[in-house]
Structure 1
Amino acid sequence: MRLRHRSEYRRAFPDCAVPQRGTRRHMKDRQSRTQPVATKQVCLSCSLPSGSGAVEAIAPRSPRASAVDGLRSIGRAHLRISPPLAPAGRAAALPAGLACARRVHSFSSVVMDVFSVCRDTRKQWPLRPGKEFRGPRVIHARLTGMRGMTDHLTIGERVAWYRRRRGMSQEVLAGLVGRTVDWLSKVENDRIDLDRLSVIKSLAVALDVALGDLLAEPSLLDWSPDSGDRTVPALRAAITDYRQLTPLAALAQAHEPPSLTELRSEIADVWHAYQASRYGLVVRRLPALLAEAHHAASAYQGDQHTQALSLLGQTYHAAATILVKVGETDLAWIAAERGLTYAQNSGDQIVVASLLRSVTHALLSNGRYDAAAQLTNDAAGLLQSDLSQAGPELLSVYGTLFLAGSMASARAEDRTTTQAFLKEAAESARRLGGDANHVWTAFGPTNVAIHQVATAIELGDVQVAIDLGPGLDTSALPIERRARHGIAVAQAFSLWNRTDEALEALLQAEHLAPEQIRHHYLSRQLVLSWIRRQKGKPSHRLSDLARRLRVT
């Protein structure tokens, strides 16, 4: 039946203006040719900037379920009616508060954006149960603002989402990033993979969003026997505890402070857990460790106070490092900056240099590549005078600082600076004499080679990465370094369209460090792109990996 009057339209679309057209259609069931089982209502006055203007809804069997539960994205442009259809005589309707396509409403304590379906799809409606619609891209009901809910979306799909949200056309966004409309269209339709962070960052800047918004970060840290049920929120509460910044901190501690030896041992345990890629254990232990380190710094006097400040800086360094890994980039910056302050107050040169490296990584994770490269140069200038008589710890920290700077300059597409930083790091590794793990840096010739592979990928030199990466022996390094190199090798093979070898490399990395692979944006995007490329059913190994990474 047609919505003929204003009163009927307002009941169907209470938040919309006067309609241009409203329709109601019925789908015929196999058993009954007259059974009304699905409804389509069209509101053309609230069309999005893309020119689309219909809100689709399928009535599920259970009255408790949302009508949008019947819509599900499958592949690049599929629409499947997955739940059972409604009994005869029950009309499908949008849930309360989800009538207008232009507004964002709250439903069942979940924030939902209801997008419209392209007008071109209406002529192919209705569909029978189990059938698929293949046509223009359809974005149905998208849960946003919930960690883990958008892991199944590619970066290109997120670019399209934010472009429409900003009201941009493809022509405008392509012009802002210096690309063609055809390139952007292929990106949004997953026909081109966004494999370089420099390109992703330029899109984020043009869309005025954070880099993490396009990378689906921060990711949800899964509960595990190591983590328990207190993860990142507990660590955030510990870092943002106002009592640690005021004299009230001393009043909050009624017990004796930990001994410096005990505190040093606990910090070492956290770093060893990090290098073993046991993210849940690191996050669980850090809140209490931060409190103990603060207590020691406020309780001790003289030389012990100085040592306690140094240990407090190291604790914040560990917190910043793990927060970068799980995508909590803003909180990582706070931890790195605060740790650097405590390290400078301690006067410990090694810890200061180590925290400068942490700040560089925090800048990298926030997409501030030029600033990270500049900080590398500035920090190197501060340490230059002591290098002639530098010991293994200073050499390791100094060399690792240049490795971080090489990644920053590569992502800034500065090939000359990248090569200069790698050369400086290689010289420090030569002076060190071999692979080591001083100050938990895992620095040495092998780590330099790992960064040569990673920077080659960022600069688009895939052949260089293919030549160096697969044959590199990383068995002497900590698990975290080995797994990260495995992701880089998988990315290089994928860019060369050698998907089977890429999958094998990623599976080997997952065997070493499942938590690290689960929480790295690149591993999720690689698996998503491989599944989308499949013409038939994905292999069992790929499907199982996608399930473990929560991308399907």
Structure 2
Amino acid sequence: MTTELADNVRKYRRRAGMSQEELAHAAGVSPGTVRKVEQGGTVRMETLHALARALGVTTAALMASDAPEPIGRAEEPNRFNLIQLRAVLTPAVGLVDQDAEVAGEEPNLRTFSRTVRDARELYFSDSYKSVAAQLPGLLRDASLAVAYYDSGDEHRQALLARAEALRLAGTYLTQVRQYDIAYAALSGAIEDAKQSGDMLAAGSGVGGMCWLLVRQGRLDEAERIAAESMDAVEPKITGAEPDHYAVWGGLAMEAAAAAARNNRPDEAKEYRKAARVAATAVGTAHRNLSRHWSVFGPVTAALKALEDSMVIGDARAVVRKADEEEALSPRAWKRLGRPSTNDGNRFTLDVARAYTRTGDLSAAMDELTRVRATAPEWLRHQNSAAETMQEILNKRKRTLTTEMRDMAAYLDVVG
């Protein structure tokens, strides 16, 4: 953690008239954890959420910019793995202008859109290496099409096609924590969609940007742009299409996620209420992955709302709701429609962590094993999976089971 963060925690604790022990008790952490934070040690983001709630401030207020820590001798593994994608999204700039690449023949936008759709299916089917290999070529072809069709409806369609390719790139890069180039891709996707006049596609892109900002800890900004974009695409009281409700409801969920993590529970509840209104209007799961990256309905809204209980550390509530709420039961998904693969896997991870916190390590392992069976590559990129496995190892008093040892090795967790 940064020295400024340590100073902020100490400052707000003293302003509240609390000792380190009193803050630890109020936040539900050990006094050693508070001391560690105030000495500049590393703690999980959820620990900062708990400290912020105990101090009565936003999580963002505790975090401040500071010089980055040295990364050590080991190179970041994706520095070279994604070099071609970096070259496309952040091209080198010098004093001599480079001639723009020109398409040799008229692009086929229908074929290109089909190729992007196939690449998106690879992403959702957990084939990350294949997606990374295809993205540089897809983005170059998209830019050639935009340059070739410089006006008219073909130009609009080319912009939308490039927006879809950039959204795929931004989503993938956020997933693998390459946030700098993810930002370049997502901002480009939003701008292209806006220029094409498709505000719903642009609003969907904002949803991807919010996810990126939350992962970076930029909670105030994520909530702000989600709320502003909700106003921009708010559906009419009657007559709105399911796509419209899905994009608006998706933005409400992004705003709620940021507010909940920023110790703004009242605002989060209002956004969740808006998401439920949109979900009710849709009725059952509405899927538009081809343009708006959305699977939205009552199940998705309920899954995302459950995250709030995990954010505030109420593991028992997560276990109880997962068992009792109809929309959270896989049996009900046959009637209400299944969530997206990613949302379903995220829900399973939340339940696994909740079981770990409540001491049911066997049930937690069952949930982790279930996710690994359906999305092994996705699981390896989830910090929460590794943190949950670490907690299981720490809590296990007896000899680790073969299953536990295997999962720990897969997630690169050392007990």
The TM-score with structure 1 as length reference comes to 0.61
Task: Give yes or no for the alignment of 1:299 onto 2:148.
Answer: yes
Q: Contact (CA 8 Å) 1:177, 1:202: kept in 2 or not? A: no
Aligned match for 2:312, one of 448, 452, 459: 459
Aligned match for 2:49, one of 176, 184, 198: 198
Q: Contact (CA 8 Å) 2:253, 2:272: kept in 1 or not? A: yes
Give the 3-state SS of the residue equivalent to 1:437 in structure 2: strand
Distance 1:434 1:247 in 2: 52
TM-aligned CA deviation for residue 280 of structure 1: 2.3
The equivalences for 1:97-176 within 5 A come to 159=1, 175-176=10-11
TM-aligned CA deviation for residue 402 of structure 1: 1.0
RMSD of equivalent CA atoms: 3.2
TM-aligned CA deviation for residue 194 of structure 1: 6.2
User: What percent of counterpart residues are identical?
Assistant: 22
Counterpart position of 2:20 = 180
Counterpart position of 2:359 = 497
TM-aligned CA deviation for residue 376 of structure 1: 1.7
Distance 2:388 2:279 in 1: 32
TM-aligned CA deviation for residue 441 of structure 1: 0.9
Task: Give yes or no for the alignment of 1:312 onto 2:156.
Answer: no
Q: Contact (CA 8 Å) 2:60, 2:262: kept in 1 or not? A: no
Task: Give yes or no for the alignment of 1:514 onto 2:364.
Answer: no
Task: Give yes or no for the alignment of 1:426 onto 2:284.
Answer: no
Relative contact order, higher structure (CA 8 A, sep 6+):
2
| Distance of aligned partners of 1:542 and 1:410 in 2 relative to their CA distance in 1, 3 Å threshold | same
Number of residue pairs matched by the alignment:
371
2:329 aligned partner, one-letter code:
D
Q: Contact (CA 8 Å) 2:318, 2:351: kept in 1 or not? A: yes
Task: Give yes or no for the alignment of 1:345 onto 2:345.
Answer: no
Unaligned residue ranges in structure 2 (runs of 5+): 14-18, 25-29, 52-58
Distance 2:367 2:61 in 1: 29
Counterpart position of 2:293 = 440
TM-aligned CA deviation for residue 316 of structure 1: 1.2
TM-aligned CA deviation for residue 473 of structure 1: 3.4
Q: Deviations over 1:31-73 (max 9, x none)?
A: xxxxxxxxxxxxxxxxxxxxxxxxxxxxxxxxxxxxxxxxxxx
| Distance of aligned partners of 1:298 and 1:549 in 2 relative to their CA distance in 1, 3 Å threshold | same
Counterpart position of 2:115 = 266
1:294 aligned partner, one-letter code:
S
| Distance of aligned partners of 1:206 and 1:354 in 2 relative to their CA distance in 1, 3 Å threshold | closer
Give the 3-state SS of the residue equivalent to 1:442 in structure 2: strand
Unaligned residue ranges in structure 1 (runs of 5+): 1-158, 222-228
| Structure showing the higher helix proportion among its residues | 2
| Distance of aligned partners of 1:414 and 1:279 in 2 relative to their CA distance in 1, 3 Å threshold | same
TM-aligned CA deviation for residue 274 of structure 1: 2.3
Q: Contact (CA 8 Å) 1:253, 1:295: kept in 2 or not? A: yes
| Distance of aligned partners of 1:173 and 1:367 in 2 relative to their CA distance in 1, 3 Å threshold | closer
Q: Contact (CA 8 Å) 1:193, 1:529: kept in 2 or not? A: no
| Distance of aligned partners of 1:315 and 1:518 in 2 relative to their CA distance in 1, 3 Å threshold | same
Greater Rg, structure 1 or structure 2? 1
Distance 2:159 2:99 in 1: 15
Q: Could you tell which deviates more after superposition, 305-314 or 385-394? A: 385-394
Counterpart position of 2:231 = 381
Runs of 4+ with deviation above 4 angstroms: 187-190, 199-204, 218-221, 246-249
| Distance of aligned partners of 1:419 and 1:317 in 2 relative to their CA distance in 1, 3 Å threshold | same
Distance 2:345 2:154 in 1: 38
TM-aligned CA deviation for residue 209 of structure 1: 6.5
Q: Deviations over 1:124-177 (max 9, x none)?
A: xxxxxxxxxxxxxxxxxxxxxxxxxxxxxxxxxxx5xx66xx9x9x8x675146
Counterpart position of 1:31 = none
Distance 1:481 1:526 in 2: 18
Give the 3-state SS of the residue equivalent to 1:389 in structure 2: coil
1:240 aligned partner, one-letter code:
T
Counterpart position of 1:404 = 254
The equivalences for 1:24-43 within 5 A come to none
Q: Could you tell which deviates more after superposition, 341-350 or 534-543? A: 534-543
Counterpart position of 1:469 = 322
Counterpart position of 2:54 = none
Counterpart position of 2:212 = 362
Counterpart position of 1:288 = 137
TM-aligned CA deviation for residue 308 of structure 1: 0.6
